[in-house]
C-alpha cells in the first residue's frame, strides 16, 4: 500500500471537496458518515451542499460528446447538513498542512484548486481538464492535453478564464485535473500558453452571460438556447407514444370485430 493510502482500520482527518458536482461529491456524505469526519468546501459552494440550491442546469448545446452525454446527468445539489463546513478563509486546508487552496470559480461558484509549494504540485480539479472531453476517441485514449473545464457544467466563462490565469501564475511542475491524467512534461510553460490562448466555447447558454449566484445559490440564469436534439427526442417520444396508442386502438378494434 502506498504512502498516504488509507488502511481498513484508519480514517482520514477530513474530506476536502473541490466542488459539489455529482462526479466529485456523490459518495462524500456516505464516507464522512462512515468515518465520522468533517467535510470542507468553499463558502460559495455551501448552498449546493446544504440543500439551499441546485446547480445551474447543464448546457447540452455547448457542443461535443460530453455535452450530449450531459443530458443524462443531474445538476441537483446535496444536503450534507452539519457534516459540511466552510474552509478557513486564509487558504489553509484542515489536515493538509503543506497544501493551500485557491478559489478558482467559473466551473462552479465555489470551486477550489489545491497547491503544494514544496514540489509545485497543482490539483486543478475542474478549473481545467487534461483530456479532450469533446471527443469520444480521446475520452477513451485519455491523451494528455490541457483543455477547458468540463464545458456543459461551466456556468461563468469569464471567471473560468481568470481562474486559469491564477493557476498559470503558480508555475506548477505537475497538473492533476478532475478529468484526464496528470501532466508533468513542461507543465508550467504549457499552462502559461494555454492561459494565453484561452478561448471559451463558440456558443452555448453561459458563453455570453454567466449564471448569477450568491451565498444562497442560483439568483438568475440566461435563457436556454434552442436545442434541436431535444426537439428530436421529444418528437421521437411523441411519435412512440402515438404509435403505442394507435396499436392499442387497432388491437381494440380487432377485439371488437
Ligand atoms: Zn465539475
Ligand atoms: Zn468533474
pLDDT in tens, 217-231: 999 999 999 887 765
Question: If pLDDT is split at 50, 70 and 90, which confidence band does 75 have?
Answer: very high
Q: What percent of the chain has pLDDT over 70?
A: 88
pLDDT value for 234: 55
pLDDT value for 2: 45
CA–centroid distance, 226 to ligand 1, in Å, is: 24
Cell readout for 139 is 475520452
CA–centroid distance, 21 to ligand 1, in Å, is: 5
* Ranges 8-17, 85-94, 120-129, 153-162: which has the least confidence: 8-17
pLDDT of residue 1 exceeding 50, the answer is no
CA–centroid distance, 251 to ligand 1, in Å, is: 49
CA–centroid distance, 257 to ligand 2, in Å, is: 58
pLDDT value for 9: 81
Q: Whole-number mean pLDDT of the chain?
A: 91
What global pTM score does this model have?
A: 0.87
CA–centroid distance, 128 to ligand 2, in Å, is: 10
CA–centroid distance, 188 to ligand 2, in Å, is: 22
CA–centroid distance, 25 to ligand 1, in Å, is: 9
CA–centroid distance, 28 to ligand 1, in Å, is: 14
Amino acid at each position: 500500500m502506498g504512502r498516504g493510502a488509507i488502511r481498513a482500520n484508519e480514517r482520514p482527518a477530513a474530506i476536502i471537496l473541490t466542488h459539489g458536482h455529482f462526479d466529485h461529491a456523490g459518495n462524500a456524505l456516505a464516507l464522512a458518515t462512515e468515518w465520522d469526519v468533517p467535510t470542507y468546501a468553499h463558502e460559495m459552494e455551501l448552498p449546493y451542499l446544504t440543500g439551499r440550491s441546485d446547480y445551474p442546469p447543464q448546457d447540452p448545446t455547448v457542443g461535443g460528446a460530453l455535452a450530449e452525454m450531459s443530458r443524462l446527468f443531474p445538476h441537483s445539489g446535496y444536503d450534507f447538513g452539519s457534516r459540511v463546513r466552510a474552509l478557513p478563509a486564509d487558504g489553509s486546508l484542515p489536515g493538509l498542512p503543506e497544501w493551500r487552496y485557491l478559489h478558482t470559480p467559473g466551473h462552479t461558484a465555489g470551486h477550489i484548486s489545491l497547491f503544494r509549494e514544496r514540489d509545485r504540485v497543482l490539483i486543478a480539479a475542474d478549473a481545467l481538464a487534461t483530456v479532450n472531453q469533446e471527443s469520444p476517441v480521446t475520452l477513451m485514449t485519455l491523451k494528455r492535453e490541457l483543455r477547458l473545464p468540463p464545458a456543459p457544467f461551466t456556468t461563468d466563462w469569464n471567471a473560468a478564464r481568470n481562474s486559469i490565469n491564477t493557476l498559470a501564475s503558480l508555475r506548477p511542475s505537475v497538473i492533476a485535473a478532475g478529468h484526464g491524467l496528470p501532466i508533468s512534461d513542461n507543465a508550467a510553460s504549457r499552462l502559461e500558453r494555454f492561459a494565453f490562448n484561452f478561448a471559451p466555447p463558440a456558443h452555448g447558454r453561459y458563453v455570453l452571460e454567466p449564471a448569477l449566484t450568491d451565498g444562497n445559490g442560483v439568483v438568475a440564469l440566461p435563457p436556454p438556447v434552442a436545442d434541436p436534439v431535444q426537439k428530436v427526442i421529444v418528437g421521437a417520444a411523441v411519435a412512440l407514444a402515438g404509435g403505442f396508442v394507435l396499436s392499442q386502438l387497432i388491437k381494440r378494434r380487432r377485439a371488437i370485430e
